[in-house]
Amino acid sequence: MIKHFLTTEDWSQTQLDVLLADANLLKQNPIQSHLSHKSMALLFFNPSMRTRTSFELGIQQLGGTAIILEPGQGAWGIEFEPHSIMDGDAEEHIKEVAGVLSSYVDMIAIRAFPAFKDWQIDRLDHKIKALAAHATVPVINMETIVHPCQELALMMTIKQHFKVVKRKKFLLTWTYHPKPLNTAVANSALLISSKFGMDVTLLCPNENYLLDEKYLTAAKAQCDEHGADFTVSHDIESAYAEADFVYAKSWGALPFYGNPSNEFEQRKYFKHFRVDGQKMALTNQAKFSHCLPLRRNIKATDEVMDAPYCVALEEAENRLHVQKAMMLNLMGHQLKQS
Ligand code: CP
């Protein structure tokens, strides 16, 4: 069976800890030759700065080569629906794309955000599942409805600051943004913090901003396994109180999915969820992070972003190390721990 990296739900905490240990070694010794003559295709359906740079550079630092493809812009548009009568814009089907790329490269990575029309369809994550079903090489998720690479970078960052992660209070706070964004990073933040046994609090303005039940249930179950707390709160002060790590993300309200103007009528009242120094002062001298990109003074203030407790740049750097560890793992390599 082919080993993919589609979601951390398919990987145990022990397996992820191996990746994180290798990532630490790669941080100290970035240049390796394990992937000499190996190659990967990076399929980008959406823009990226960190993901594209860190993957392209990462495989190069391991001796391999990356090929960037942007379907619909320089590469043919791709149809994902099975049995589709392809009379639209797409020139080829994922079955052929997966087959052809598998015959050229050793790994395929994909960034395919949801279509933002119907959450009941988007929540099935069918594009990456179709690619994985038809590829004969490992497939890596570079963000769909989850962002598992970001999860690894976040946990590497948390571990850099806390000797013991279990039962530390992790606050995932919704924050304001002018547009209704993808829930992927928020879903992922719940998955990884709960997998490592943190006390997880999800803070959002009201029930409309709750994440999909699948991720709430998974996070609660993982917290329960560790004897940790899982809390949903709409109260800013009590949620921030005694937090050890504050993670901010904006996302669209799922009941208004596909209807951005109606959704905006909800969100415009919640600009005060922006992370600022007053809120951070309520915490247990917490670290703050965000996956980036971040609109300053909209999602978090300059005071927060420029504070010594802001570790967002460390998290961004860690994307490089964890993805290299994961690529090595998928290609059958594990670095020697001393
Ligand atoms: N955090 C993240 O995935 O950044 P990019 O969208 O720039 O890749």
CA angle 328, 163, 173 (to 5 degrees): 85
**Residue 303, SS3 per DSSP:** helix
Does the structure show a pLDDT above 70 at 323? yes
C-alpha torsion sign, points 317, 318, 320, 321: positive
The predicted structure's pLDDT at residue 336: 76
Note whether 196 and 12 are within 8 A (CB): no
The predicted structure's pLDDT at residue 271: 97
CA angle 154, 160, 165 (to 5 degrees): 75
Instruction: Please work out whether the CB of residue 46 comes within 6 Å of at least one atom of ligand 1.
Output: no
pLDDT single digits (tens) 201-250: 999 999 999 999 999 999 999 999 999 999 999 999 999 999 999 999 99
> Which atom belonging to ligand 1 lies closest to the Cα atom of 47?
6
> Which atom belonging to ligand 1 lies closest to the Cα atom of 316?
1
State percent of the chain over pLDDT 90: 98
Measured CA to CA, the distance from residue 168 to residue 137 in angstroms comes to 38
pLDDT single digits (tens) 71-84: 999 999 999 999 99
Instruction: Please work out whether the CB of residue 291 comes within 6 Å of at least one atom of ligand 1.
Output: yes
Cα 165 to Cα 193, 194, 244, distances in angstroms: 9, 10, 10
**Residue 1, SS3 per DSSP:** coil
Does the structure show a pLDDT above 90 at 98? yes
Does the structure show a pLDDT above 70 at 191? yes
Instruction: Please work out whether the CB of residue 49 comes within 6 Å of at least one atom of ligand 1.
Output: yes
Question: Mutation test of ligand 1: which of 292, 317, 323 has the most ligand atoms closer than 8 Å to its C-beta?
Answer: 292
Measured CA to CA, the distance from residue 142 to residue 191 in angstroms comes to 16
> Which atom belonging to ligand 1 lies closest to the Cα atom of 46?
6
CA 321 to ligand 1 centroid distance, Å: 15
Measured CA to CA, the distance from residue 310 to residue 25 in angstroms comes to 24
Largest alpha-carbon pair distance within the chain?
57
Question: Mutation test of ligand 1: which of 42, 43, 51, 56 has the most ligand atoms closer than 8 Å to its C-beta?
Answer: 51
Q: Which helix (H) or strand (E) holds 220?
A: helix 213-226
pLDDT single digits (tens) 221-234: 999 999 999 999 99
Instruction: Please work out whether the CB of residue 42 comes within 6 Å of at least one atom of ligand 1.
Output: no
Does the structure show a pLDDT above 70 at 324? yes
Beta-carbon contacts of residue 187 (< 8 Å; ≥ 6 apart): 145, 146, 211, 212, 215
Which residue bears the tokens 């398919």?
A: 10
Note whether 244 and 170 are within 8 A (CB): yes
The predicted structure's pLDDT at residue 338: 61
Instruction: Please work out whether the CB of residue 290 comes within 6 Å of at least one atom of ligand 1.
Output: no
Helix and strand element counts for the chain (H, E): 13, 11
The residue whose CA is least distant from atom 3 of ligand 1 is 51
Measured CA to CA, the distance from residue 254 to residue 256 in angstroms comes to 5
Count of residues in the chain: 338
Phi and psi at residue 234, to the nearest 5°: -115, 15
Beta-carbon contacts of residue 278 (< 8 Å; ≥ 6 apart): none
pLDDT single digits (tens) 82-94: 999 999 999 999 9
Q: Which helix (H) or strand (E) holds 174?
A: strand 169-174
> Which atom belonging to ligand 1 lies closest to the Cα atom of 51?
8
Instruction: Please work out whether the CB of residue 54 comes within 6 Å of at least one atom of ligand 1.
Output: no
Beta-carbon contacts of residue 276 (< 8 Å; ≥ 6 apart): 300, 301, 303, 304
Does the structure show a pLDDT above 70 at 252? yes
Beta-carbon contacts of residue 329 (< 8 Å; ≥ 6 apart): 3, 18, 19, 22
Which residue bears the tokens 């994550």?
A: 125
State percent of the chain over pLDDT 70: 99
CA 319 to ligand 1 centroid distance, Å: 9
Average pLDDT over residues 152-168: 98
- DSSP output for 109-163: EEE----SS-HHHHTT-HHHHHHHHH-SS-EEESSSSS-HHHHHHHHHHHHHH-S
Direct distance between the N- and C-terminal alpha carbons of the chain, in angstroms, rounded to an integer: 30
Average pLDDT over residues 43-71: 98
> Which atom belonging to ligand 1 lies closest to the Cα atom of 53?
8
Closest CA to 190 of 160, 161, 163, 210: 210
Does the structure show a pLDDT above 70 at 148? yes
The predicted structure's pLDDT at residue 333: 96
CA 225 to ligand 1 centroid distance, Å: 31
